[in-house]
Amino acid sequence: MTLPVFYTDAPLSEVRPGQRVPITGQALHHAVTVRRMKAGEALELTDGAGLRVRGVLESASKEAAVLAADEVEHEQPPTPRLGLIQALAKGDRDLAAVETAVEVGVDVVVPWQAQRSIVQWKGAKAAKAHDKWANLIQAASLQSRRVNFPKLEQLSSTSFAAQKAREGALVIVLHEAGTRPFVQTLRSELSRRTVEEIYVVVGPEGGIADAERQQMEEAGALTAVLGPTVLRASSAGPIALALTQQELGRWGPADNG
């Protein structure tokens, strides 16, 4: 069984096996108060940038806790990186998509102000909404035992996806106008070129506007249909990312036959 993981902003880069590491702040609260962990129990600390410190609680109280470090690992992020360009959507469906995408293994999350997005990030609301996404990403990362937290980009326009396509990233727009299935499109592209980044683009409730799709396609993005049914904004991205993980062989042998 995997150990619970807690985030700390305290420096971990100099920690070595055998050292004692004070647990403070958010990590202390979540481990001792929320999880009610006690001395003798094992856990992991992370800085969210790939560092994992595994050990056993030597002492634990609401005021202070100390971890006796047993192992220190630095986990490299996988290549290619997986990104989700998620249109803002009502009813927190965008948040649901982001949470599941983090659990699936997304590396970059891009909030997208699409033309047909009913939700708008403006003024002070924009900063508050961005922080909400950031907090959700951190919580979902810890829940799924990740030590490389996904990067959250600033609110973007359609130009973000277009620019990524021009830079050589594989950008696949999920849209029912696509003439090829998503997996077929992904497999074909991966067989003919090496990519460092793969982005999945998901529109809002009203769909992606033709002008937006055209802008992305002219920059080199591909349009594909995910399946025979129409999916909500909350499920399309995570499903596409899961299929990508499978195709890359990260969730089992890739079938390239």
Structure-block tokens of residue 198:
């793969």
User: Is 110 among the domain residues?
Assistant: yes
Structure confidence by residue, pLDDT tens digits, 43-102:
999 999 999 999 999 999 999 999 999 999 999 999 999 999 999 999 999 999 999 999
Structure confidence by residue, pLDDT tens digits, 182-195:
999 999 999 999 99
Tell me the CA end-to-end span of the chain in Å, nearest whole number. 34
Task: Report pTM.
Answer: 0.92
List the strands of the sheet with 65-74, edge to edge.
5-7, 42-46, 51-60, 65-74, 20-23
User: Is 112 among the domain residues?
Assistant: yes
The enclosing domain of 197 has a CATH number of: 3.40.1280.10
Residues 152 and 46 in one domain: no
Structure-block tokens of residue 242:
């899961």
Number of domains forming the structure of the chain: 2
**What pLDDT, on the 0 to 100 scale, is given for residue 132?**
97
Structure confidence by residue, pLDDT tens digits, 195-223:
999 999 999 988 999 999 999 999 999 99
Mean local confidence (pLDDT), 24-29: 92
User: Does residue 256 carry a pLDDT above 60?
Assistant: no
Residue 224: Cβ-neighbour burial (10 angstroms; 0-12, 13-18, 19+): buried
Residues 29 and 127 in one domain: no
Residues 62 and 91 in one domain: no
Range of the domain at 47: 5-74
Residues 64 and 104 in one domain: no
